[in-house]
A and B are shown apart, each in its own frame.
Chain A
Amino acid sequence: AQKITQTQPGMFVQEKEAVTLDCTYDTSDQSYGLFWYKQPSSGEMIFLIYQGSYDEQNATEGRYSLNFQKARKSANLVISASQLGDSAMYFCAMREGTDSGSARQLTFGSGTQLTVLP
């Protein structure tokens, strides 16, 4: 079964509007972390935002916020006031469990290609 599901292969948004990119996850761990990354056409993976499973507040980073609904196992990314430079592929990812000595790998979704229209 998919651990991270991004159901929107492509999204369009008008410049200056807000957009929500969906992400649902599946884990039996109580402790986990959720990440969003942006991959522009240049190829690099840019970290956007992180939410820990025990964090009570939704994470925010500038124009990015994470709508974390633990009971529904969803971690949607909200981008406010979209800009042309936001056009990119967006990946949701999860790290399961906690580690005492080493960090675990990330599990990624298939991504959402966001296009911001002028």
Chain B
Amino acid sequence: EAGVTQFPSHSVIEKGQTVTLRCDPISGHDNLYWYRRVMGKEIKFLLHFVKESKQDESGMPNNRFLAERTGGTYSTLKVQPAELEDSGVYFCASSQPHGTGDYGYTFGSGTRLTVV
């Protein structure tokens, strides 16, 4: 079974530019999550999709961040325009429809975003 795939693995962009991160969850996983770790701080929840619907987007920092999950498969997270404080590692995770089991979450390797 393929894991959660994220790309790019690294992205360096200038302040004011746009960047789009992509996450391919495990096939059949309805739940998809985005998290972010800013340098030296804890991993923070951004949002949660159930299939194509946003279940919880309470962690999205501001309206420069836009997440989509068309068709309930892969998801994109767009940052437009990027600011310096957006630098960090963005993780995606997926889980099965009733993800209450102990092995419920599978994480991708993350996208390291650097805004200069």
Contacts and interface: CB of A to CB of B under 8 A. Distances in A.
A47 B103 CA distance: 8
Contact of A103 (B9, B59, B100): B100
Q: Is the interface of A mostly helix, strand, loop or mixed?
A: loop
29 contacts: A37-B107, A42-B109, A43-B9, A43-B110, A45-B91, A45-B93, A45-B108, A45-B110, A47-B103, A47-B106, A98-B100, A99-B98, A99-B99, A99-B100, A101-B98, A102-B30, A102-B55, A102-B98, A102-B99, A103-B95, A103-B99, A103-B100, A104-B48, A105-B33, A105-B48, A105-B59, A106-B35, A107-B45, A108-B35
B31 interface: yes
Contacts, number: 80
A102 B32 CA distance: 11
Contacts of A103: 31, 95-96, 98-100, 104-105
Interface of A: 4, 33, 35, 37, 42-45, 47, 50, 52, 59, 91, 93, 95, 98-99, 101-111
Contacts of B30: 102
Q: Chain B interface: which size bin?
A: 35 or more
A50 B102 CA distance: 5
